[in-house]
Copies of this chain bind each other. A is one copy, B any other.
Amino acid sequence: MIKVGIIGVGTVGTSVVNILKDNQEIISARAGDEIVVKSGVVRDLSKDRGLDIILTDNADDILDDPEIDVVVELMGGVEDAFVVVKRALENGKAVVTANKALLAYHRYELQDMAGDLPFEYEASVAGGIPIINALRDGLSANHIKSIMGIMNGTCNYMLTKMINEGVAFDAILKEAQELGYAEADPTFDIGGFDAAHKLLILASIAYGIDAKPEDILIEGIQNVTQDDIAFAKEFGYSVKLLGIAKRVKNEVELRVHVALIDNSEMIAKIDGVMNGISVVGDKVGETLYYGPGAGGDATASAVIANIIDIARSGKSKPMLGFDKPLEKGLKLKPIDDIESKYYLRINVSDKAGVLSKITTIFATNNISIETILQRPSKDGSANLLISTHIAVEKDIQNMIKSIEELDFVNSKPVMIRIV
């Protein structure tokens, strides 16, 4: 019998207990053993949860319990969770976590500390989709060329609604909050930070590259408007928040930002709260994994899959999937050096000479224009909607600064990368 202690019995923890009960027969047939939750840590002991487990408000009751084989960490947060999982490992317990933030900051230390003890985290990226499994174990023969993912259901839900219903960002946010798809303080999701944490985990498995959220480009969906969506529709693009890892020679690009992506791409077809991650390997080609990125049962499905794996296997595989440095000399590509196609929306006073000055600034910064549309705006100004050929991030940022200073430019140009 495998005895489990859950630290943080919230939505996901409750689902873990319930699924282990509902699906007990098929789970034990697959695990080759009974899996039972013995105890769980909660903040509020007075709340009636209807769970048939020992509840405590003290994590030590689990961490120091010699009967507990597997600690499931569902606390969230970074440093307190780090203390907890470290103690679990020190006490010889296997760890299963759903905590992307913890791993965004401490995954390499945890891999070292885990040693031969199982440390699993399928639930930390893309909820119920077994993407860690696929990337670490299914595609292990490949050099990974790129990873591109829709990994935040809040953002994807909102962008899908904006595209399908033509409603403004603020209205969609309000609706998402009412439906529980966005938090009261939505910054972590709509600012792209949640997606960034998940991207870092995948990048470690693919490239062995250590980076923190502070090292990479993170931009959220807050500035997307219906003007941008109209442009996207006109030119056959979808609008998605993407986490991108891309290997270019000896450099790895890591970035999270809104992107225009051609409607013919599989990833462009992923809507609503669903997640999807495209992984391109040098030998296998393009693969894609789609499913629910969040939700109690979906996330618990991943947690329990990890526990079943622990029950089945004597020797655990290395946490991030490699035993020694994965690649020699791979470096994080500086944000300035990123190359991409770009879309820009520039609001100008409608006068003579505007186009001439703007296109000159593009040329001065070595940026070649692919398409240009001018549209009158309701207030008498004009919107210039421009897409470029491949350009360098630094040149684009310089161009935006120069354009911002022109007297007929009314607000900071909006830029969305085209992927």
Contact = CB atoms under 8 A, between A and B. Distances in A.
Given A285-B291, A287-B128, A302 B138 contact: yes
Contact of A325 (B29, B269, B292, B301): B29
Q: Which interface residue of A290, A295, A322 has the most chain B CB atoms within 10 A?
A: A290
A129 B32 contact: no
A26 B323 CA distance: 10
A266 interface: yes
A321 interface: yes
Nearest to A142: B301
A277 to B, nearest CB: 11
Contacts of A290: 266, 286-290
B323 A141 contact: no
A321 B311 CA distance: 12
A128 to B, nearest CB: 4
Given A130-B139, A284-B301, A301-B281, A326 B291 contact: no
A2 to B, nearest CB: 13
Interface stretch (A148-156, A312-320, A350-358): A312-320
Interface residues of A, number: 64
A261 to B, nearest CB: 14
A142 B26 CA distance: 8
A309 to B, nearest CB: 6
Contact of A133 (B30, B130, B295): B130
A141 B285 contact: no
Nearest to A280: B291
Nearest to A134: B130
Contacts of A326: 26, 29-30
Given A301-B281, A326-B30, A308 B140 contact: yes
B140 A134 contact: no
Q: Which interface residue of A133, A141, A290, A314 has the most chain B CB atoms within 10 A?
A: A141
A26 B325 CA distance: 9
A284 B304 contact: no
B322 A30 contact: yes
Given A30-B323, A138-B133, A312-B317, A289 B287 contact: yes
A65 interface: no
A29 B323 contact: yes
B314 A315 contact: yes
Contacts of A317: 309, 312-313
A23 B283 contact: yes
Contact of A283 (B19, B287, B327): B19
Interface of A: 15, 19, 22-23, 25-27, 29-32, 122, 128-130, 133-134, 137-143, 208, 266, 269-270, 281-292, 295, 297-298, 300-302, 304-305, 308-309, 312-315, 317-318, 321-328
9 contacts: A23-B141, A23-B142, A133-B138, A138-B302, A283-B300, A284-B297, A288-B288, A289-B289, A314-B314
